[in-house]
Amino acid sequence: MTTFDNVTVVKKANIYFDGQVSSRTIQFADGTEKTLGFMLPGEYTFGTCAKEIMEIMAGELDVLLPGSEQWQSIKAGESFAVPADSKFDIKIKTPTDYCCSYIK
Amino acid sequence: MTTFDNVTVVKKANIYFDGQVSSRTIQFADGTEKTLGFMLPGEYTFGTCAKEIMEIMAGELDVLLPGSEQWQSIKAGESFAVPADSKFDIKIKTPTDYCCSYIK
């Protein structure tokens, strides 16, 4: 069972798209943050500030990354990166558990 | 912003009802656990092992506690307790963010 140890967790959820997407913010001692999130089936567009690495722990989705014209299929055990200050589109096919790391 | 500090977070979500309910397990230094969870609208039945205190941080729901014949309305800022080794029914009316404490 993989855990994050000695971290701070923000109690309230981050809620998007009427709750179809929700996440929890995890703060690490080195000042970095990750979110652990959950997405229900649907199509969503997200914007990034920092570069993001999205690790998919459960579920299946298609993602259209900025600058790409081709959707990529991503499933549990796979990851994708999104540049800073950009937008990406995502089609969630089955309920998706993810860990998002913010790279500064 | 309320946080839980110096805790361990299990990376993978707990997933129930095809993802309509999901939660994250938080482990404290004293050996106790809480879950931070999110419930989408719907009707669900849950079983308890330990006594649970459910603190509702966002959302609206009705709950039917064991031994009761009357549904109670619960909204953000309110809590309810469920005895150990019992079942309770819940009707989620709006997306609900909760913190569940397990009392041993």
Q: What is the pLDDT of residues A52-104, one digit of tens each?
A: 999 999 999 999 999 999 999 999 999 999 999 999 999 999 999 999 999 98
Q: Which CATH superfamily is domain B8-103 in?
A: Jelly Rolls (2.60.120.10)
Average pLDDT over residues B58-81: 97
Residue B104 binned pLDDT confidence (cut-offs 50, 70, 90): confident
User: Which has the closest alpha carbon to B35: B18, B12, B60, B6?
Assistant: B12
pLDDT tens for each residue of B4-57: 999 999 999 999 999 999 999 999 999 999 999 999 999 999 999 999 999 999
Looking up tokens 């459960």, which residue turns up? A58
Handedness of CA B7, B92, A91, A60 (dihedral sign): positive
pLDDT at B9: 98
pLDDT at A47: 96
pLDDT at A13: 98
Task: List A10's β-bridge partners, or say none.
Answer: B3
Out of B4, B11, B22, name the one closest to residue A9 (CB): B4
ipTM score above 0.85: yes
* Closest-CA residue of chain A to B36: A11
Question: Is A9–B9 a contact, with Cβ atoms under 8 angstroms apart?
Answer: yes
How far is residue A37's CA from residue A56's CA, in Å, rounded to a whole number? 10
Residue A28 binned pLDDT confidence (cut-offs 50, 70, 90): very high
List the domain boundaries for chain A: 8-103
Residue B98: exposed, middle, or buried by beta-carbon count in 10 A (0-12, 13-18, 19+)? buried
How far is residue A100's CA from residue A102's CA, in Å, rounded to a whole number? 7
Question: Is B58–A15 a contact, with Cβ atoms under 8 angstroms apart?
Answer: yes
Average pLDDT over residues B69-93: 98
Is residue A25 within 8 A of residue B24, CB to CB? The reply is no
Q: What is the DSSP string of A30-45?
A: TS-EEEEEEE-SEEEE
